[in-house]
Amino acid sequence: MTIFKAKKKAERTVVENLPLDRIYPGANQPRRVFDEHELICLAQSIKENGLLQPIIVKEICEGRYELIAGERRVRASRLAGLTEIPGIVTEYTDEESAVLSVIENIQRCDLNFFEEAEAMRRLIVMKGFTQEQLAQRLGKSQSTIANKLRLLKLSENIRNLIIAYGFNERQARAVLKLPDESREKAVEEIKRLGLNVSQTEKYIDTLLSPVQKKKKPTWTFTEKKLYINSINKTLDTMKKSGVPFESEKNVEDGILTYIIRIPQD
C-alpha cells in the first residue's frame, strides 16, 4: 500500500551507498525497544549475505541524512562492522517522513504492541485521521485500532513491566480491566505464577469479582414494626377463630420477646 510518493529528483532515484556515521535516527521513530539477540542474528546475516533491502532517508544538510525507515537494519549493519549501507534518499517533508516511518514499522510488524499503539496515536494526531480512516490505511479493522489505542491507558511503568515479563497483548488487555492501583501487584503475581493467557484472564476476573462475605441484614425501625404488627394480627386472627393459645410479650434491654403457647390437643 503506497501512502506517499517521493518528489521526483532524477539523481536520487537509485539506491546509493550512504556512510553509516552520517545517518541519524528520525525524531518520529516509533520503535523504542530493540531485541539484542535479533540484532546480532541480523548482523550475522548481513555479514554473510549483505543487506537485501535498502533503508530510506532524507538529506537534512549536505552529506547528513535523517532515517525514515530501517533503524533495525542500521543498528545491525553497525554491529556487522559496515561503514556504508545501501539507501534511498527521498525529499519527503517532515510530516510525510514521520507518517511513512510509522506506517513502515507497523506494516513490517517491527513494533511491540505498545509501540504500535503509540505509533497509531501519533498518526491520528499528525494526520487528523479518524480511527476508521486509519484502519483503512493500515488494512485493519476499526475495532483493532480501538483496542490498540486503549492499551495506552496503562501507565509507562506497567507497560515496561508487561514487556519485560514477556506478556502478550491479550494479557495486557486483561490487566487494563483492573483499576490503576491494582495493576502492578496483579502483573507481578501473573509473572510469579507463570500464568498463560487463559489463566491470566481468569485470574483478573477473580480480582474483579471477589467473593463477598455475607453480611447480616440491617433493618430499619419501620421494617421491624411491620413484622411486629404482622405477629399481632396473626394472634388476633387466631383469637377470633377460637384457636386456644397463650401469649406473652416482654421488652428487656431493648429486646422484644414473644412467647406463644398452643396446645397440641
Give the residue numbers annotated as catalytic, written as ranges: 71
Q: Which three cell numbers stand for residue 86?
A: 545501501
Q: Which amino acid is at 92?
A: Y
**Pairwise CA distance, residues 225 & 216, whole Å:** 19
Please say whether the beta carbons of 74 and 55 come within 8 A.
yes
Please say whether the beta carbons of 26 and 95 come within 8 A.
no
For 5, phi then psi, to 5°, come to: -120, 135
Q: What b/e string do you get for 175-212 counting C-beta neighbours within 10 Å, with b at 16 or more? A: bbebeeeebeebbeebeeeebeeeebeebbeebeeeee
Distance of CA 252 to the CA centre of its chain: 61
DSSP letters along 69-108, please? E-HHHHHHHHHTT-SEEEEEEE---HHHHHHHHHHHHHHT
Please say whether the beta carbons of 117 and 151 come within 8 A.
yes
